[in-house]
Structure 1
Amino acid sequence: MKNQDIIKKNFEFQKIIQKNYSVQNACFIIFLDKKSIKFKYGISVGKKNGNAIVRNKIKRQIRTMIFEIIKLKKTKKKNLIVIVRKKYKDFSYQENFGHLLNCFNLIK
C-alpha cells in the first residue's frame, strides 16, 4: 500500500461515515463506502486510548493488520474507516487481529 491509499482529510471521513453502513464489535467500528473506485482506508484512534505515543503505536498495529488481511483476502474496491474503541488495549495483538478479521468477514 502507498500513502495515496490513506484517507486523511476530515471531509473524506465524514463522507464515508454519512453513508451509514457499519460493522462493529468490541474493539472496532468499521464504516464503509462500497461504491468506490479503489481500496482506501482511514484509521481513527481517540484520546481515550492513551497519549500520542500509544495512539500512534495502535495506528501502526492496525495498518499492519490491514495489510495482512488484504494479503489473505482479495478485498474489493471499498473505502473504509476503522475506528478503534477503548477496549482495544484490553486484548493482545493476536486477539485484536482476530477481532478485525471478524469485522472484515462481516463485510458483504
Structure 2
Amino acid sequence: MEKAYRIKRNEDFQAVYKKGQSVANRQFIVYRYKGTDLDHFRIGISVSKKIGNAVTRNRIKRAIRETFKVYKEDMVAMDFIIIARKPAAEMTVAEIHKSLTHVLKIAKGFNKKMN
C-alpha cells in the first residue's frame, strides 16, 4: 500500500476518532471520517498487543491491507481506521477478508453495491 493511502500521524488518527463514526462486528471496529479534499481513501490500522505476539499482529495487518488493495477502486474517498479485536487472531486470511468486507459494507465504505 503506497504512503498516500496510509494514516500515520497521531493528529489524523485523533481527528477520525473524534469526528468520525464507528461501525463494528465481532472481529473489527471501523471508524470512518469524510475529511476535506481527499481524492482517495486512507487507512490506519491498530492491532493491540493484547491480541497476540508480533507475528500474529503483523499477519492481521497484512490481511487488512490486502483487503483494501483488492477493493482499491471501489472504496469511498474517506479516512478509515481499522481496529482489530481479539477473535481476529484466530482467523485465516480469507475469514479476515470476509469479515472486514462485511463491516465495510455496513460502514458504507464502498462506492457501489457490493455482492
1:48 Cα offset (Å): 0.9
> Does 2:65 match 1:63?
yes
| 8 Å contact from structure 2 (residues 23, 103) kept in 1 | yes
Please give the TM-score of this superposition, normalised by the length of structure 1: 0.87
What root-mean-square deviation, in Å, do the aligned CA atoms of Structure 1 and Structure 2 show?
Answer: 1.5
Counterpart for residue 7 of structure 1: 7
**Structure 1: how far apart are the matches of 2:49 and 2:86?**
9
Segments of 4+ moved more than 3 angstroms:
none
The aligned residue for residue 76 of structure 2 is 76
Contact 1:16–1:81 under 8 Å retained in 2:
yes
Alpha-carbon separation, structure 1, partners of 2:62 and 2:2:
14
Instruction: Please list every run of 5 or more consecutive structure 1 residues that lacks an aligned counterpart in the other structure.
Output: none
TM-score (norm 2): 0.82
Q: Give the fraction of aligned pairs with identical amino acids, expressed as a percent.
A: 35
**Higher-helix-fraction structure:** 1
Q: Which runs of 5+ in 2 are unaligned?
A: 109-115
Instruction: Tell me the number of residue pairs that the alignment of Structure 1 and Structure 2 aligns.
Output: 106
1:46 aligns with 2:48: yes
Give the Å deviation of 1:69.
2.6
Q: What SS does the aligned partner of 1:57 have? A: helix
User: In the alignment, which residue of structure 2 is the partner of 1:33?
Assistant: 33
